[in-house]
Structure 1
Amino acid sequence: MDDNGQHNEDDTVDTDSSDDDAIGPIEESEFVEYGIEDKPPLAESIFLGFQHYLTMIGATVAIPLALAGALGMLEAAPEQVGRLIGTFFIVSGIATLGQTILGNRYPIVQGGTFSMLAPALAIIGVLGTQGADWQTMLLYLQGAVIVAGLTEIVIGYTGVMGWIKQHMGPVVIAPVIALIGLSLFNAPQIVDPNFSAPGTGQNWWLLGLTLALIILFSQYLDQYSRAFRLFPVLLGISAAWIIATVLSVGGVFSADSTSFVDLGSVLSASLIQPVYPFQWGVPRFELAFAIGMIAGMLASVIESFGDYHSVARMAGRGAPSPRRIDYGIGMEGIGNTLAGVMGTGNGSTSYTENVGAIGITGVASRYVVQIGAIVMIIVGYLGPVGQLFATIPAPIIGGLYIVMFGQIAAVGLSQLKYVDLDNNRNVFIIGFALFSGLAVPAYMSNIGQGVDAGASTVFQQGLSQVALIGPILGSDVIATTLFVIGSTGMAVGGIVAFFLDNTIDGTREERGLAEWEKITEDDSEFQSFLQRWRSSDDETTPTGAD
Structure 2
Amino acid sequence: MSGEDDLEEVEDDFAPEGPGPSPDPGSEREPASFVEYGIDDKPPLGESVLLGVQHYLTMIGANIAIPLVLAGAMGMPAGATARLIGTFFVVSGIATLAQTTVGNRYPIVQGGTFSMLAPALAIVGVLQTSGAGWETMILQLQGAVIVAGVAEVLIGYFGVMGWLKRHMGPIVIAPVIALIGLSLFNVPQITAPDQNWWLAGLTVALIVLFSQYLKTSHRAFRLFPVLLGLVTAWLLAAGLSVAGVYSPGTAGYVDFSQVFEAQLFVPIYPFQWGTPMFRGSFVIGMFAGMLASVIESFGDYHSVARMAGRGAPSARRIDHGIGMEGLGNLFAGIMGTGNGSTSYTENVGAIGITGVASRYVVQIGAIVAIVVGYVGFVGQLFATIPTPIVGGLFVAMFGQIAAVGLSQLKYVDLDENRNIFIVGLALFAGLAIPNYVSAVGSAGAFQTGLANVAVVGPVLGSEFVAQTLYVIGGTGMAVGGIVAFFLDNTVPGSREERGLTAWEDITEDDSEFRSFWDRHVSDADAEERAPGAD
Question: Is residue 344 of structure 2 the alignment partner of residue 351 of structure 1?
Answer: yes
Structural mapping, 1:307-326, within 5 Å: 307-326=300-319
- From 179, 203, 224, the counterpart of 1:231: 224
Question: Is residue 54 of structure 2 the alignment partner of residue 70 of structure 1?
Answer: no
Per-residue CA deviation, residues 75-110 of structure 1 (Å, 9 max, x unaligned), is xx2112111111000000000001000000000000
- AA in 1 matched with 2:512: E
Q: Summarize the Cα distance change of 1:321–1:442 in structure 2 as closer, same or farther, 3 Å threshold.
A: same
Q: What SS is found at the alignment partner of 2:496? A: helix
Distance 2:468 2:443 in 1: 12
Q: CA deviation at 1:24?
A: 3.7
Kept in 2, the 8 Å contact 1:22–1:526? The answer is no
- AA in 2 matched with 1:62: A
Structural mapping, 1:283-294, within 5 Å: 283-294=276-287
Kept in 1, the 8 Å contact 2:110–2:344? The answer is yes
Distance 2:230 2:426 in 1: 35
Question: Is residue 259 of structure 2 the alignment partner of residue 266 of structure 1?
Answer: yes
Residue matched to 1:128: 128
Residue matched to 2:371: 378
- AA in 2 matched with 1:383: G
Q: CA deviation at 1:23?
A: 7.5
Residue matched to 2:445: 461
Give % identity: 70
Residue matched to 1:439: 432
Distance 2:161 2:492 in 1: 24
Distance 1:165 1:467 in 2: 34
- From 232, 236, 242, the counterpart of 2:235: 242
Per-residue CA deviation, residues 223-280 of structure 1 (Å, 9 max, x unaligned), is 0010111000111010111111112122221211121111000100000010000001
Residue matched to 2:12: none
Q: CA deviation at 1:322?
A: 0.4
Question: Is residue 463 of structure 2 the alignment partner of residue 476 of structure 1?
Answer: yes
Question: Is residue 163 of structure 2 the alignment partner of residue 163 of structure 1?
Answer: yes
Residue matched to 1:543: 531
- AA in 1 matched with 2:448: S
Distance 1:56 1:356 in 2: 10
Residue matched to 1:451: none
Q: CA deviation at 1:217?
A: 0.5
Per-residue CA deviation, residues 26-69 of structure 1 (Å, 9 max, x unaligned), is 31211000000100001110100000111111100100010010
Residue matched to 2:293: 300
- From 486, 489, 503, the counterpart of 2:490: 503
Distance 1:140 1:23 in 2: 47
Q: What SS is found at the alignment partner of 2:452? A: helix
Q: What SS is found at the alignment partner of 2:268? A: coil
Residue matched to 1:220: 213
Distance 1:324 1:23 in 2: 15
Residue matched to 2:45: 42
Question: Which TM-score applies when normalising by structure 1?
Answer: 0.92
* Deviation larger for 370-379 or 324-333: 370-379
- AA in 2 matched with 1:153: V
RMSD: 1.3
Q: CA deviation at 1:15?
A: 4.8
Q: What SS is found at the alignment partner of 1:162? A: helix
Q: Summarize the Cα distance change of 1:424–1:539 in structure 2 as closer, same or farther, 3 Å threshold.
A: same
* Deviation larger for 255-264 or 342-351: 255-264
Question: Is residue 90 of structure 2 the alignment partner of residue 90 of structure 1?
Answer: yes
Residue matched to 1:141: 141
Q: CA deviation at 1:460?
A: 2.4
Residue matched to 2:4: none
- AA in 2 matched with 1:59: A
Question: Is residue 338 of structure 2 the alignment partner of residue 335 of structure 1?
Answer: no
Distance 1:334 1:249 in 2: 45
Kept in 2, the 8 Å contact 1:25–1:521? The answer is no
- AA in 2 matched with 1:357: A
Question: Is residue 534 of structure 2 the alignment partner of residue 531 of structure 1?
Answer: no
Residue matched to 1:391: 384
Kept in 2, the 8 Å contact 1:441–1:489? The answer is yes
- AA in 1 matched with 2:305: A
Per-residue CA deviation, residues 272-293 of structure 1 (Å, 9 max, x unaligned), is 0100000011100001000000
* Deviation larger for 533-542 or 410-419: 533-542
Kept in 2, the 8 Å contact 1:87–1:275? The answer is yes
Q: What SS is found at the alignment partner of 1:186? A: coil
Kept in 1, the 8 Å contact 2:56–2:368? The answer is no
Q: CA deviation at 1:21?
A: 4.7
Kept in 1, the 8 Å contact 2:179–2:427? The answer is yes
Residue matched to 2:18: 14
Distance 2:525 2:217 in 1: 48
Distance 2:130 2:117 in 1: 20
Q: CA deviation at 1:25?
A: 4.4
Unaligned runs of 5+ residues in structure 1 are 1-11, 194-200, 449-457
Distance 1:511 1:110 in 2: 32
Residue matched to 1:56: 59
Q: What SS is found at the alignment partner of 1:503? A: coil
Per-residue CA deviation, residues 449-497 of structure 1 (Å, 9 max, x unaligned), is xxxxxxxxx3322232233331112201100000100000000000000
Q: Summarize the Cα distance change of 1:538–1:14 in structure 2 as closer, same or farther, 3 Å threshold.
A: farther
Distance 2:53 2:108 in 1: 14
Residue matched to 2:113: 113
Distance 2:341 2:144 in 1: 13
- AA in 1 matched with 2:408: Q
Per-residue CA deviation, residues 129-175 of structure 1 (Å, 9 max, x unaligned), is 11111111000000000000000000000000000000000010001
Q: CA deviation at 1:534?
A: 1.8
Per-residue CA deviation, residues 525-546 of structure 1 (Å, 9 max, x unaligned), is 1100011112222333323645
Aligned residues: 515
- AA in 1 matched with 2:429: S
Q: Summarize the Cα distance change of 1:253–1:459 in structure 2 as closer, same or farther, 3 Å threshold.
A: farther
Kept in 1, the 8 Å contact 2:145–2:340? The answer is yes
- AA in 2 matched with 1:543: P
Residue matched to 1:26: 29
Q: CA deviation at 1:355?
A: 1.7
Residue matched to 2:190: 190
Q: CA deviation at 1:187?
A: 1.1
Residue matched to 1:181: 181
- AA in 1 matched with 2:129: T
Residue matched to 1:455: none
Distance 1:459 1:110 in 2: 27
Q: What SS is found at the alignment partner of 1:403? A: helix
Moved over 6 A (4+): none
Distance 2:23 2:319 in 1: 19
